[in-house]
Amino acid sequence: MKAYVFNEHGDYNTIKLGEAPKPAPADDQILVKATYGGLNYIDSYFRKGIYPWTFPAIAGVEGSGVVEAVGSKVTNFAPGDRVICIGSGMFAEYFVAPASRSVKLPENIKEEIALAGYLQGMTALTLSEEAHKVLPGQYVLVHAVAGGVGLLLTQICKARGAIVIGTTSTPEKAEIAKAVGADHIIFYKTEDIVKRVMEITNGYGVDVSFDSVGKDTVDITMDSLAKFGSFVSYGNTTGPVPPFTINRLAPKNNHLCRPQLYAYVSTPERLEKYSSELFEMISSGTLKITIFKIYDFEDYRQAAEALETGKTSGKVLLKMESSY
C-alpha cells in the first residue's frame, strides 16, 4: 500500500510517498481503509525528533475511513462502520488504530467536517475544561488564534462567557478570528503583546493563556498573567519551552500545566464524554469548523509546509482516496 514512511528525522525533504505492507489488526485494533487524514503540528514534532519515533515510521496521528476488519477482542465496531481514529501511522491507504481511541462517525455530520473538528476540537474542549476551567467574565489569551485549535478555543470560551484576546500575524487572519467571536486581536509581529493585554484588561492581566507557540512566548505569557492565572502550554511551534525555575510562578501564585489530549481521553468513558460533547456542539452550530484546504494524498509535503510556515487558518486535511 502507499504510505508516508520515514526512516530518519528531518525537515520537509524527508516527506516522501512510499510503499509499506498493509497492516493487520491486533486483538484490540481495527483495520481502516482511509478516507481522510488530519494534519497536526505534532506530526512535525515526530518528524523533527522533538518527540520520540521508532523507525521505520508512518506519519499521521488522526484519520477517518471505513472499517475493513476488527481484532478478536473488538466488540464495538464491525466492518463497514465509518470511523474517526487517533493513534499513529494514519497517512496511508490503510491503517490500524486502537478501538479504544476510535469513534463512529455521526450520521448528521459530513466526514470531512467531523474529522476537521475532531482532534483539535477535543483538545480545545479538554484545555478549557480541565487544564483551566474557563468561566464567565474571565480574560483568555489565545496565542495563534486563527489556527485550528485557536479558532475552536475561541468559540468554546465565548460560549462560556469569557473575553477572548487573540494573537495573530495578519489582518486576514484577524478577520477570521473575529468572525468566530474573538473580542480583541493583537498583531504579534508589530505590537507589544504584554502592553496590549494590560491596556485591554485595565492592568488586570489574563486569567489563562493558552499557549501553543512554545519557546518564543514563555516570557510573554508569564508577564500577561493576572494573579492566580494559568499558563497552559500545549504546543511547540517555535521550539520546546526551555527549562525555567518554578519560583517564577510564586509572585502571582500562577499555575502551570503542560497537558496532553491522550491522557484526558485515556478511558472509553472519557473518550465518549468529550467526543459526544464535541459532535453535539458541531451539529448544533455552536462550533463552526473551518477547513483551510483539503490536499490530495500526494501533496502531503505541500500541506505540511503550509501548516508549519503559518500560511493556514483552520484545519488542513489530506484526501487519502486521491491516490487509489
CATH for 91:
3.90.180.10
Q: Flag whether pLDDT at 152 surpasses 90.
A: yes
- Residue 158 has a pLDDT of 98
Domain assignment present for 283: no
Taking residues 170-185, report their average pLDDT. 97
> What is the overall mean pLDDT for the chain?
96
Determine what percent of the chain is predicted with pLDDT higher than 70: 99
Rounded to 5 degrees, what are φ and ψ at 25?
-75, 140
Q: Are residues 227 and 304 in the same domain?
A: no
Domain assignment present for 285: no
Looking at the DSSP assignment, which residues form a beta bridge with residue 67?
A: 32
Cell 495563534 belongs to which residue?
144
Closest CA to 74 of 30, 117, 10: 30
Q: Are residues 143 and 66 in the same domain?
A: no
Taking residues 305-317, report their average pLDDT. 93
- Residue 123 has a pLDDT of 96
Determine what percent of the chain is predicted with pLDDT higher than 90: 94
Taking residues 252-258, report their average pLDDT. 97
* Helix H or strand E segment including 230: strand 225-233
Domain assignment present for 20: yes
Q: Are residues 221 and 97 in the same domain?
A: no
Taking residues 267-280, report their average pLDDT. 96
- Residue 283 has a pLDDT of 96
Q: Are residues 47 and 145 in the same domain?
A: no
Domain assignment present for 99: yes
Q: Flag whether pLDDT at 135 surpasses 60.
A: yes
- Residue 324 has a pLDDT of 43
Q: Are residues 181 and 253 in the same domain?
A: yes
Q: Are residues 124 and 100 in the same domain?
A: no
Instruction: Return the CATH number at 144.
Output: 3.40.50.720
Q: Can you tell me the distance from the alpha carbon of 99 to that of 85, in angstroms, rounded to the nearest whole number? A: 8
Q: Are residues 61 and 132 in the same domain?
A: no
Q: Are residues 244 and 301 in the same domain?
A: no
Q: Are 149 and 316 in contact (CB under 8 A)?
A: no
321 band by pLDDT with thresholds 50, 70 and 90: confident
Taking residues 269-297, report their average pLDDT. 96
Domain extent at residue 27: 2-105+290-323
Taking residues 210-227, report their average pLDDT. 97
Domain assignment present for 314: yes
- Grid cell for residue 172: 486576514
How many domains are there within the chain?
A: 2
Q: Are residues 181 and 126 in the same domain?
A: yes
Taking residues 208-219, report their average pLDDT. 96
Domain final position from 262, 281, 315: 262
- Residue 323 has a pLDDT of 47
Secondary structure class of 202 (helix, strand, coil):
coil
Domain assignment present for 114: no
